[in-house]
Amino acid sequence: MGPVHSRPVSVRGSFADLHSDPGIDRRYHVTAPPDSNEQPGPGVVEYEGPPIGAMVADGVKRYEKCIPRNDDASDTTVPAMTIAFPVHNHTVPPGWITVVHPEGSRYFVNPEKRTFTEINVCNEEMCEDVKYYMKYLLDELESELKRKGSLFDMKQVDLVLELKQAPDGISAICLYYFANHRDRCLFWLDEFDAKKVLSDCKGITNISHKGLAIQAQYWRHWDYFPNLCPVAQTLVDEVKNMLVHAKCDHLTSKQSSAAYDVNELRDYLDIVTRITVCPTANQSMEQCHVAIVIGRIMNTFSHNAFINFHGENCARLSFEQTVYGWAYIRSWWMVVFTAVLFLEPETQVQELHKIFADKITRTSRWNVFSSKLKSQLQESNILASLPFQCCVLAAINVKPVNRLAQRQRCVPRFE
């Protein structure tokens, strides 16, 4: 049991209302605030350790952190003799480096502790808080491994830290996850409710099935924090082989449930075959583009395996197969409209349910369906306009004939 750390207006504040967030771990019990004679009240929580919570890679919320820039004034002066430009405008504390993701976002890395964060460690107070949480979580992990007698190389584990403001608006909670490169998954010190990660599927019962969704989040970690991800030629070959198989599956089966479509797979194969793997000794912290490419492709494959129940006795082997045994039943409205409109509505609805099996579809299949439906509507419009067009053409053709007859009647005949 760790000590209770109380620090007002800090991420190490010792109490906050956490009942509204199921992602917070269970290292606490309900009681009164420290050094207080008050009775425990609703929503008052004292932690047996610091306020921490579990998250997944999607919990980083990188794309929601843009701070609008004031466009009223700009500094357009470049100092004299500026022969080199810095990559950032702050002093990074010892042990940390700053990295700019190829997409443009900045984050900080502690290579020795293999810790990543988007928290601004250039701020002295923030840096102290990050160092505190980093040490606490890594020490807790080592203690758990020793207690269970697990042999685990800490050099294959990444730690990611994120801050979330507590409901009280004063203190904050440190969110985290560990990335296990050996087994390709994320893990946490305490039980984690992965409801949001598993929400794309219903009827989940096996831990192996859950592992596919967690593995997809592991590959998301490669996309977000690629610098220390172990890129090897064997992994590149694995990705290439998966793409080749998926392309072959699409070419040999019109109902393939494999990820992507044939055109996308061709493009991804072209990208992967161009990858050059540098020796481990020559891999730079800034040379992270290959890891991002691999992470994004493998994330899609892992998520596809999850939503199609790979390894389960109900695995979806074709894209129109339902896992839950659901079957389309016509409503009486559809029966009426089908009879009136020559079976056209029912045909379209059946096609729609095929590409939306269990409420899951792909962009490529939806685009094919939309194009086909649009073409049919255009043909229907042409057929519907034929009677009108015939009437117009008839009117155009009749008028000249009548005028010619009138002229013939008016012209005198000489015998």
329 domain-assigned: no
- 230 and 105 in one domain? no
> Is 201 in a helix, a strand, or coil?
coil
Residue 363 lies in a domain: yes
Does one domain contain both 210 and 311? Answer: yes
* Residue closest to 224 by CA, chosen among 57, 67, 56, 55: 57
Q: Tell whether 73 is covered by a domain.
A: no
Which residues touch 26 (CB under 8 Å, ≥6 apart)?
190, 191
- pLDDT at residue number 290: 93
Integer CA distances (angstroms), 280 to 87, 99, 270, 285, in order = 25, 19, 24, 11
Report the alpha-carbon distance of residue 319 to residue 360 in Å, rounded: 9
Do both 258 and 282 map to the same domain?
yes
In whole angstroms, how large is the CA radius of gyration of the chain? 32
Q: Is residue 331 part of a domain?
A: no
For position 401, what pLDDT does the model report?
44
Residue 137 placed within a domain: yes
| Number of domains the chain is built from | 3
Distance CA 347, CA 362 (A): 20
Q: Is residue 150 part of a domain?
A: yes
Residues 12 and 103 in one domain: yes
Is 130 within a domain? yes
Q: Do 147 and 210 lie in a common domain?
A: no
Q: Let me know whether 233 and 260 are in one domain.
A: yes
pTM of the model: 0.76
Residues 250 and 390 in one domain: no
What angle is formed at CA 225 by the lines to CA 280 and CA 305, rounded to 5 degrees? 95
Same domain for 105 and 39, yes or no, is yes
Domain of 58 in residue numbering reads as 1-64+90-191
Last residue of a domain, one of 191, 222, 240: 191
- Do the domain assignments include residue 305? yes
Strands (E), 278-363: none
- Out of 164, 191, 218, a domain closes at 191
pLDDT per residue of the chain (415 residues) written in tens, 0 to 9? 332 333 333 333 333 333 334 444 434 333 333 333 444 344 444 445 688 999 999 999 899 888 888 888 888 899 999 999 988 888 899 999 999 999 999 999 999 999 999 999 999 999 999 999 999 999 999 999 999 888 888 999 999 999 887 777 777 789 999 999 999 999 999 999 999 999 999 999 999 999 999 999 999 999 999 999 999 999 999 999 999 999 999 999 988 999 999 999 999 999 999 998 887 655 566 568 999 999 999 999 999 999 999 999 999 998 888 888 776 666 666 666 665 555 566 666 666 666 667 667 666 666 776 777 777 667 665 555 555 555 554 555 544 444 444 444 444 444 4
> Distance between CA atoms of 51 and 57, rounded to whole angstroms?
19
Residues 57 and 178 occupy one common structural domain: yes
* CA 393 – CA 415 distance, rounded (Å): 39
Domain boundary among 159, 176, 191: 191
Q: Is 257 found in the same domain as 169?
A: no
In the numeric block, the tokens 């009437």 are attached to 391
Both 300 and 359 in one domain: the answer is no
162 lies in the same domain as 284: no
